[in-house]
Amino acid sequence: MTTDTWNGLRYRVTGRGRPVLLIHGIGRSLSDWDDQHERLSDFYQVWSVDLPGFGASQPPPHGMRLEHLAHLMADFIRGMDIGPVHLGGNSLGGAVAMQLTADHPGLVSSLLLANSAGFGRGVSPVLRLASIPGVGERLLRPSRKGSQRSEHAMYHDPRFATPARVQRGFDLAQRPGGTEAFLDMLRSLGSVAGVKSGWRRALTPRVRATGIPTFIVWGDKDAVLPFRHLKRGARMLRAATHRFPNTGHGPQIEQADEFARLARKFWDGVDQGDSMSFSPESKKPRGLQPFQFGVGSAVITGAASGIGRATAMNLAERGNDLALVDRDKTGLDAVKAELTRQHPGLVITTHEVDLAQPVDFDGLAAAVAAEHHRLSLLINNAGVALNGTVDEISMADLDWVLAINLRAPIAMTKSFLPYLQREHGAHIVNVSSLYGLVAPAGQSAYAASKFGIRGFTLALQSELIPRGIGVSVVHPGGIATNIARNSRTGSLLGNEEAQRRRAQFARFLTMPPERAAAQIVDAVAQRRERVLITRKAVLVDVISRVMPVNHRHYLARQLHKTR
C-alpha cells in the first residue's frame, strides 16, 4: 500500500465513501491498520496516519502532548476536507481520538476505541519503568531483541509477531528522534505509578458531554492495558462495548475480520441515524439518539446570571447558537458581549422578558425563530424563591412565584414546541428544585411551583419522547446563584425575620453554577430524563423514598440544626 505526506504527516488513503480516520498507538505506525484498509475500503474511504513524532511523521512543534497531537489531527481533517469522520483509535490513538472529539466535536461523527488509554491507572510494568528518567532511555535503546519483545507484547497469539512486523518495529526504533518522542509522550501521560489521573479525569467527562456515539472494544488478554478498563470505559462514556476473547492489545490485527464486521455495523448504524440502538448482537431500538450539539439553536431562560449564564457558556463551547431570555437587560448584554468575544462565529440573540408579567409567548417564539431558523433545545431555567408558611404569604406572593416557576415554563414549552418538532431529536429541559422532591415547612408556595413543574415534565416525557423529543427534569440542590439575594419572603413577615431567613437560605448555596451547568448539558447529551445535582439532592431523594411519610421529621431536624 502506498502512502503520501501532508505537512510532515505520513498518511494512507484507500477506498471511497464516508470517511474513516484510524489512529495507531504509542511507538507504532499506520501499518497497524493495513488489515482494516483491506477489509473496509470497499465500503468507506479509509484514512490512517502516522501520529506526529511516530512512524514517518515529523514531531509536533510544541512537544509530545495529547492536546498537540489532537490539534494536528484536526488540522489534517480540515486540510484533507474530510470531516466529519468516523474516528477510530487504538491504545494511545484512542486517547488522541478522545481529545480530538472533546476539542473539535464538529469534526467527528462517531468514536471507535480499541484497547484505548484513558480509562484507568493500570499499564504494563515495562511502560511504568520506562517513565523513569534514565531507565527509559536504557530500556528503549534500539535492538532487534527489544523490538521482538515489544511486538510479542502486542498480541496474545505469538504467531502475529511475524518477522516482518519485528523488522518494521526495529526500523521505527532506529529512526532519529523516535525514542525521544516515545518517552516524551509516555511521561506526559504516565509515571512509575501508572497512567496519570489528571488528564483522564478531565478528558472523559468532556467526551461524554459531546453525545457522540461511542463503541469500545477490547482484547481480554491485553498485556499492555488491562481488560478491566473496558467496563470502566463503558461507564465513563456510556458506550456500547465488545470483548474479543483470547486477544491482546491489537484486536484490529489479531481479530481483523470480526473487528471490521463490528466497525461496519457500528458506523452503518450511525450513518442511518440509529446509533443508540447499536449493540454488537442486536439492532433492536433502545431509545433516542444522543443529542447533537452545534446543529440547531438553544433557547435559555434566566440566562443573564447563575445556571442560565453558565449553561449558555457551556453550550457555546459546543458550537450552539443561542437565544438568551431574561428580564435583566444589563446582564443579558454582558453575557452576549462575552460570548461574542469568545465565539465570534455564533449567532447570539437576547430577548428582554419579565416572566412575572403577562407575556406574548407565541410572539416571543416567533421572534426567536425568525433569527434562529433551527431550534433544537429549550432550557426553562428561570426561577425565583419564596420563603414563608402558607399563613405568612399573600396571594400576590403566590401568583408571583407560580407565574415564573410554573406557568412560564409551561407556556414556553407550548409556544416553542411547534418549532422544536421540526428538528428531529430536539430536547426540553425543565429546572425544578430540591423542593420538587420534598416540601419542608416554610416552602409551601415554592414547593408547589417546583412539584408542579416536576409533574408537568413527567407528563411531557410520556407525551414527547415517543415522538422523538427528549425531556429532562433537573433537581438542583444548593447552587451558588443570585436566587437567595433575589428571593422573597412572605409579605406578612417582619423585615428582621425576612432577613434572617434569606441568610439561612444562602448558607445552603455552595456548588458553583458552572458545575451544575455541566451536569445539565451532559444530561441533554445522554438524554437523561431525571437529573439530581449536588449530594444534598441525592441524599434528600433517597430519604424521601425510604421514608415517604416520616422524612419530613428528619428534614425538619436538619433544618433546625442550621439555624
Q: What does residue 307 show for φ and ψ, rounded to 5 degrees?
A: -60, -40
Q: Is residue 274 predicted with pLDDT exceeding 60? A: no
Percent residues over pLDDT 70 in the chain: 90
Q: Is residue 280 predicted with pLDDT exceeding 60? A: no
Query: Which of 208-212, 307-311, 492-496 shows the lowest per-residue confidence on average (mean pLDDT)?
Result: 492-496
Q: What is the pLDDT confidence band of residue 540, given thresholds at 50, 70 and 90?
A: confident
pLDDT of 548 reads 79
Task: Give dist(CA 342, CA 276) in Å, integer.
Answer: 33
Mean per-residue pLDDT for 12-41?
A: 95
Q: Is residue 505 predicted with pLDDT exceeding 60? A: no
Task: Using a cut of 0.85, tell me whether the model's pTM lies above it.
Answer: no
Q: What does residue 5 show for φ and ψ, rounded to 5 degrees?
A: -130, 140
Strand partners, 388: 443
Q: What number of other Cβ atoms are within 10 A of residue 11's Cβ?
A: 19
Name the catalytic one among 11, 155, 446, 554: 446
| 446 given a catalytic annotation | yes
Task: Give dist(CA 10, CA 42) in Å, integer.
Answer: 22
For the stretch 121-130, pLDDT in tens is 999 999 999 9
Please report the DSSP string for 342-357 in residue order: H-TTS-EEEEE--TTS
For the stretch 51-97, pLDDT in tens is 999 999 988 887 889 999 999 999 999 999 998 999 999 999 999 99
CA distances from 459 to 129, 341, 455 (A): 57, 40, 6
For the stretch 328-342, pLDDT in tens is 999 999 999 999 999
Mean per-residue pLDDT for 187-191?
A: 95
Which residue from 288, 324, 530, 314 is spatially nearest to 429, judged by alpha carbons?
Answer: 530
Q: What is the pLDDT confidence band of residue 563, given thresholds at 50, 70 and 90?
A: very low
pLDDT of 40 reads 96
pLDDT of 291 reads 87
Beta pairing, strands 530-533 & 470-476: parallel
Residue 119 CA from chain centroid, whole number: 15
| First vs last C-alpha separation in the chain | 75
Contact in structure between 448 and 400 (CB atoms under 8 Å)? no
Task: Give dist(CA 535, CA 546) in Å, integer.
Answer: 16
The upper half-sphere exposure of residue 166, i.e. CA atoms within 13 Å in the direction of its Cβ, equals 15
Q: What is the pLDDT confidence band of residue 447, given thresholds at 50, 70 and 90?
A: very high
For the stretch 401-410, pLDDT in tens is 999 999 999 9
The helix (run of H) or strand (run of E) holding residue 540 is helix 535-546
| Helical ranges in 10-143 per DSSP H | 34-40, 66-80, 92-103, 125-130, 135-139
Q: What is the average pLDDT score of the chain? A: 89
The CA angle 132-138-144, to the nearest 5 degrees, is 135
Grid look-up 422578558 returns: 353
User: Three-state SS for 124?
Assistant: coil
